[in-house]
Amino acid sequence: EDQVTQSPEALRLQEGESSSLNCSYTVSGLRGLFWYRQDPGKGPEFLFTLYSAGEEKEKERLKATLTKKESFLHITAPKPEDSATYLCAVIYGGATNKLIFGTGTLLAVQP
Amino acid sequence: DGGITQSPKYLFRKEGQNVTLSCEQNLNHDAMYWYRQDPGQGLRLIYYSQIVNDFQKGDIAEGYSVSREKKESFPLTVTSAQKNPTAFYLCASSVTYNEQFFGPGTRLTVL
């Protein structure tokens, strides 16, 4: 079955404590992997798109990487304002625009 | 500013009532989508449209209907046939096969 799994479900970090979030996928013909940030009660905010294994993207304290089976979102020296739910989604296969979303990782960064 | 707007932000429905959620975008995107988000679950696709006057059912289309008469607009109607409509509804748009951009969401509650 085509699916996207994110781990851990929740993560609590101290300010400045770096860590990584994981997104593993089992789909055929990956066309793109997307990372989003979602704050409570708001729509997801687009962060990154990764298209092929080995690709990396960076934005401030966030760095996303992609392998053939998974993606990591590395958070370096996080701040409390980085607290949010981080969602991963993939688009794959033939002529379709459909995304499959993971259930997200809830990140809490304590001062 | 380009973006996606959804209205209303909060909506209350009585049993047996149909309600319509608005979604407008000025990003000139061809594709538009409706998702439902429930606590502890990933985003689930209700309907999507890749072009004006055409739309397809997503994974959970029962009890919902849509129209796409204009490129900018993709309203969602939650009908009385939807037995558990209380959820957070998100609209998104994209250039074909690329990252989706989300609106701020509508929270629907059944009284």
* More confidently predicted of B6 and A31: B6
Instruction: Report the candidate in A42, A25, A41 with the shortest Cα–Cα distance to residue A99.
Output: A25
Sort out which chain A residues have CB atoms less than 8 A from B50's CB and list them: 97
Residue of B31, B104, B105 lying closest to A97 (CB–CB): B31
For position A97, what pLDDT does the model report? 67
Residue B75 has pLDDT above 80, yes or no: yes
Sort out which chain B residues have CB atoms less than 8 A from A36's CB and list them: 102
Minimum distance, in Å, between the CA of residue B14 and any CA atom of chain A: 22
pLDDT band at B60 (very low <50, low <70, confident <90, very high): very high
Average pLDDT over residues A38-49: 96
pLDDT band at A95 (very low <50, low <70, confident <90, very high): low
Distances (CA, A) of A94 to A28, A97, B15, B96: 10, 9, 40, 12
Sort out which chain B residues have CB atoms less than 8 A from A101's CB and list them: 42-43
B48·A32 Cβ contact <8 A: no
Average pLDDT over residues B7-34: 94
Q: Does A91 touch chain B (CB under 8 A)?
A: yes
Cα radius of gyration rounded to whole Å, chain A: 14
For position B40, what pLDDT does the model report? 79
Question: What gap in Å lies between CA A82 and CA A109, rounded to an integer?
Answer: 7
In degrees rounded to 5, what are phi and psi of residue A80? -55, -30
Average pLDDT over residues A68-83: 97
Q: What is the mean pLDDT of chain B?
A: 93
Residue A21 has pLDDT above 90, yes or no: yes
Average pLDDT over residues B40-61: 93
Average pLDDT over residues B33-62: 93
A91·B90 Cβ contact <8 A: no
Q: Best residue in B74, B100, B101, B108 to probe A by mutation, most A CBs within 10 Å?
A: B100
Residue A66 has pLDDT above 90, yes or no: yes
C-beta separation of B34 from B89 below 8 A: yes
Q: Does B25 touch chain A (CB under 8 A)?
A: no
Q: Taking phi first (over 0 means left), then psi (-120 to 50 degrees means alpha), and beta for anything else, what does residue B104 get? A: alpha
